[in-house]
Chain A
Amino acid sequence: MVTVDDDRSDARLLEAIGVEDERALATLYGRHAPWLTLRLTRRCADIEIVDLALQDTFVAVWRRPQAYRGTGEVGAWLWGIAIRRLIDQLRRRPHARYLLTNEPLVVSAEDEVLVGVQHGDLARALDHLSPELLAVVQATILDGLSTREAARVLNIPAGTVKSRMHRARIELRGALT
């Protein structure tokens, strides 16, 4: 089943999927499904919902592989689909929640070494944002959601997303200068 021995590029695989090549879908799945699953799991703790979102993602890819315009990483494009499919799944289940970084926001020195983030200032600044601001930064910048989509998953008005984003920018800028 999930084979990765096919050495076509991701973009080539999408072209092949366009002419209904199931093997190409299997290869693309083998390459991307693991990290997508892991990343989705960091957004939603419910395994079943993550699985459905993952399936929806690849079914969507099968339907419209031409939606990939050939620019940018296929991985980033897949994530864009996956996060939206996850949000769709979450919307159907009012109790399930979009997870935010709920860990206490302390950066250990060890983490920084591990990550090797040279912009230590940025990392520290990000981790010192209030949970509200961080949630907005996460949804918009890291997950690539639009203001409206972020507003929906975070359950706050779109105007609030914008103003929090603005404040987060000011704080980050302040921390870096």
Chain B
Amino acid sequence: MTDARSWHASTELLEAYVAGDLASAPMASVEAHVGACDRCRGLTTPLADRARLQQNFTEIIDRVGMLRRNPLERWLSRLGVPERVVRVVSVSPADRTPWSFGVLVALLVAAALGGADADGRTMYLLLTVAPLLPLLGVTMSATMRSDPLRELTRSTPMPQLSLIVSRCLVVLVPAAGFSLVLALLVPSWGWEPALWLAPALSLSAGSLALSTWLPIQRVAIALASVWIGGSVIAFIGAPPPHVVTQFVAFRPMGQLALLASAVVAAWVAARRSDSFEMIHAGRIS
């Protein structure tokens, strides 16, 4: 029996290994040993190409530099969000900020006007406008020609669909949380501040699904027109105190229908995800 610690590879043996001159058994021996033995590992260092090692290390440091985490990333990854999604979502503040900001400002304005909004009109306007913001975000993500993330997505190839969806979720999830808090803080509103979520999901998912057939800008404009049109028609002649429930989309059945359509649309988009481009190395627009 050879004691694992008393056996060491010689330089000649390692050279033969590097040259590929060893048969499988000695090769396996060397491999099993070198990874675990400091001394023999040291012997391999001069056998490797120094310039190449240096070059690789430089590349690693470059990539690592892009990996430094901000608080949002730490938080997302602690929640168990997959690493590649964390990267893509968090390194795109440029398109995250406007929508989060838009949704939050709209909700804050509504909160501030809460007392004055006796006839429900402010809420109605808010509920009509808020779902359009994610739709706008989806369209922007999908059409962005110069992706600031190109450098990053190069190392994490990812279907464009997941990219768009991740970016939507990072806006929708906090906004949804905020809506719920608002609903709890202003009890007289009941669940009204959350009513925009179902149409938002439905419009975003719908635009993604339809964009597998038609250009997404056209799809988004069409869906937004239908939504605004429906809202305006429902608003005309609505009795002031119950404006919100005049639009079928804000009644329970309408909400359910919207959620169902969002699920179907998401399924369609996922099934047809091949029609979205893959973002990866070499696609320079």
Contacts and interface: CB of A to CB of B under 8 A. Distances in A.
Interface of A: 1-2, 4, 20, 22, 25-26, 29-35, 37-39, 41-42, 47, 51, 54-55, 58-59, 62-64, 73, 75-76, 78-79, 101, 103, 105-108, 111-112, 114-118, 122-124, 126-127, 134, 138, 142
Contact of B54 (A2, A58, A79): A2
Given A2-B53, A2-B54, A33-B48, A55 B25 contact: no
A171 B54 CA distance: 44
Given A20-B68, A51-B55, 5 more contacts: A22-B64, A31-B41, A34-B45, A39-B35, A76-B35
B53 A37 contact: yes
B23 A105 contact: yes
B213 interface: no
A63 B65 CA distance: 11
A76 B56 CA distance: 21
B23 A106 contact: yes
Contact of B23 (A2, A22, A59, A103): A103
B27 A1 contact: no
Interface stretch (B12-20, B169-177, B229-237): B12-20
Contacts of B22: 103, 111
Contacts of B53: 2, 33-34, 37
A59 B25 CA distance: 32
A101 B44 contact: no
The 7 residue pairs across chains A and B that have the minimum distance between CB atoms: A123-B25, A75-B35, A34-B48, A115-B26, A35-B44, A101-B24, A34-B45
B27 A101 contact: yes
B57 interface: yes
Contacts of B18: 38, 41
Interface string B1-33: 110000100101100111011111111111110
8 contacts: A59-B60, A103-B20, A114-B13, A117-B26, A127-B23, A138-B24, A138-B28, A142-B32
Interface of B: 1-2, 7, 10, 12-13, 16-18, 20-32, 34-36, 38, 41, 44-45, 47-49, 52-61, 63-64, 67-68, 83, 155
B66 to A, nearest CB: 10
A89 to B, nearest CB: 12
A64 B84 CA distance: 13
A126 B52 contact: no
Nearest to B7: A116
A119 to B, nearest CB: 8
A108 B23 CA distance: 8
From B16, B25, B67, B68, name the one whose CB has the most chain A CB atoms within 10 angstroms.
B25
B34 to A, nearest CB: 5
A42 B27 CA distance: 10
Nearest to A123: B25
Nearest to A134: B24
